[in-house]
Amino acid sequence: MPKSKKNIKIPKIIKETWDKVQDDEDPTNWMLCTVKGGLRKKLSIAATGPGGHPHFQHLLKEDSLFFGGFKTTLYDEKGDTTAVYSRYLFFLFAGEGVAGFKKAKIVPLFKEVGDKFHNCALKQQFQSADAFTTTALEGRLENIIRGKIKYDWTNGMAVGQIALGEDTAPPPPPQNKDMEFKKKKTNTTSSSSSSVVTASKACAKRANEKITVKAKLPNGEIVEVQCKPDELISVLKRELSKHEKCDIDPKNMVLAFKDAKLADSANLKDLAITDNAMVCVSEPFGVKVRLPSKKTVKLSIDPAMTTMELKKLLSDKHAMEIDPNQMRLLYKKKPLDDDKGIKEQGVKNGGLILMKGPFYVVVIMPDGKEVTVVCKNNKPAKLVCESLGKTEEISVGSIQLLFRGKKLDLKKSLKDARIFSGDKLEAKIQEATRVTFMVSTYGDAYGSVQNIVKIILDGFKIKYELVDGALPEYRDRRNELWEISGKKGVYPQLFVDNQFIGSKDEITDLNETGELQEIIGTIQADPTQVQVKAMKSGRFDW
């Protein structure tokens, strides 16, 4: 099946910016796009910014032609509760002053461009600012969104928090004065001919004239550069980087005009940046932090942020298990001072900081609770159980630790088990039982006898500890029971309150004479030893 022809090129940055608008953690809440090119049309970002509808409405003039999208916050009252969520709108604004032939080229692109602005509650075309008011938008949304809805078109940011600037009309679109004069009826006299030439020269002179753009640097200094009105923002960045007081690379430079970020592909005239206009220059400062778990995270921070503030940020979002006071941050093998700023200590933009902290593991309890245990990796894993016993007030002997589904040998160190700092362990709590039943799953020599004894025990409907003497993780417990019974290598064996009851034939004989019922009867009277869950089967699955 042949591919459908694309009438306009939509770069990847358009989708990325729209994703930022829909990201609650990103301050970008709106975007405006223009169409560049003739036969090969391309969608370019003209401006983005925080806030909402009131913060970009002043950019929509009678001669404006923009595709755009923005976010609005809704408050849905249902009884005593209020639900808060966001909705997104896509629009094409073609002002009344835009020439008809331009509209004829752009309006048919509405559906193709709108498909890239996904997840929108409303997609609409507007031809005047009066039809693009919040009141008019709410009226259109009434038929789409039901309920008692209240709209926050600023998304929690009052209009006064962002300077909108003077609501002056942008400069008129460029016109070809030669064509304008040629259309007029002129006589063949030399005076009319010279007037056309003079007007053409004046137009060309105005096109080549440069305007002065003021820029406020991050250190507060204000510098001036010269640019042509039709030049792109990327050219303005290069001119600023050449200034002796500006040492920011154009690739890392961010420009803002009236609190709206400027895209490199937009030009000064479209953004209403006129002579002596002021833009703000900033440089995003980022660092990479290598966590003890060997994971690397990227952070955008204020260069003046202190080391302690960075530690708290890491503790809140990326290393919640570690107290900031226990962290050590190193840059190029040198520790960073808690009270000094990050950039002040020589950390460069994009630099790698190593975080050193105490060795710790995260233990997931049976109820899903995660407990952080600070320990040493060269010490036995049993110390983790002892720490859990103190903090969670449970018996140390009843704790079993599993790592990736396998039971840990508590006598061996965490290092021997290849457990690293930040790894998660699973804890299983063995219920306190008064009856212990020791069997062996090695071979089938004891299979039939052990099944008979298990059927007898299941009939009493009591809890009992099951020890498999053939498995290495039960080796210590098996040896303890052998010392109590004095019978090594014999299966099965039954114990009540750490006293040996019998093995093989003794258990079945006690059951037939009723003596086993007398021994187990006291345990059946103990509510903590009653088996609540129904037994699946009276036999082992050998």
Q: CATH number, domain at 109?
A: 3.40.20.10
For residue 327, what pLDDT is reported? 86
Examine the domain organization and report whether 81 and 55 are in the same domain: yes
Do residues 466 and 494 share a domain?
Answer: yes
- Report residue 52's pLDDT band, with 50, 70 and 90 as the boundaries: very high
Mean pLDDT in residue range 479-500: 89
16 with 116, same domain: the answer is yes
Both 15 and 116 in one domain: the answer is yes
| HEC readout, 11-45 | CHHHHHHHHHHCCCCCCCCEEEEEEECCCCEEEEE
pLDDT number for residue 321: 63
Q: Are residues 33 and 14 in the same domain?
A: yes
Query: Is 12 found in the same domain as 157?
Result: yes
Is position 15 within any domain? yes
Percentage of the chain modeled with pLDDT above 70: 86
Has residue 94 been placed in a domain? yes
Q: What is the pLDDT of residues 214-229, one digit of tens each?
A: 999 888 889 999 988 8
Q: 412-433 in b/e burial notation, b at 16+ Cβ within 10 A?
A: ebbeebebebbeebbbeeeeeb
Identify the CATH number of the domain in which residue 476 sits: 3.40.30.10
Distance CA 399, CA 431 (A): 9
Do 308 and 403 reside in the same domain of the chain?
A: no
- What pLDDT does residue 194 have? 46
* Element of type H or E holding 290: strand 285-290
Assess if residue 542 is contained within a domain: no
Report the range of poorest mean pLDDT among 66-80, 127-141, 152-166, 339-353: 152-166
CATH of the domain at 268: 3.10.20.90
pLDDT of residue 6: 82
Residue range(s) defining the domain that contains residue 344? 286-356
- Do the Cβ atoms of 66 and 32 come closer than 8 Å? yes
Tens digit of each residue's pLDDT (9 = 90 or more) over 393-429:
887 777 889 998 888 888 889 888 888 887 889 998 8
Residues 112 and 67 in one domain: yes
Residue pair 35/68 in contact by the 8 Å Cβ criterion: no
User: Mean pLDDT throughout 58-71?
Assistant: 91
Based on the fold, state whether residues 291 and 321 are members of the same structural domain. Answer: yes
Does 407 fall in a domain?
Answer: yes
Q: Is residue 1 part of a domain?
A: no
Query: In the beta sheet, which residues pair with residue 500?
Result: 495
Reported as a single tens digit per residue, the pLDDT across 375-398 is 888 888 888 988 888 888 887 777
Task: Report if residue 446 sits inside a domain.
Answer: yes
Please state, rounded to an integer, the average pLDDT across all residues of the chain: 81
Residue that terminates a domain, selected from 403, 429, 455:
429
- The residue among 199 and 38 whose pLDDT is bigger is 38
What is the per-residue pLDDT across 122-153, written as a single tens digit (0 to 9) for each? 999 998 888 898 888 888 888 777 777 888 99
Count of the separate structural domains present in the chain: 6
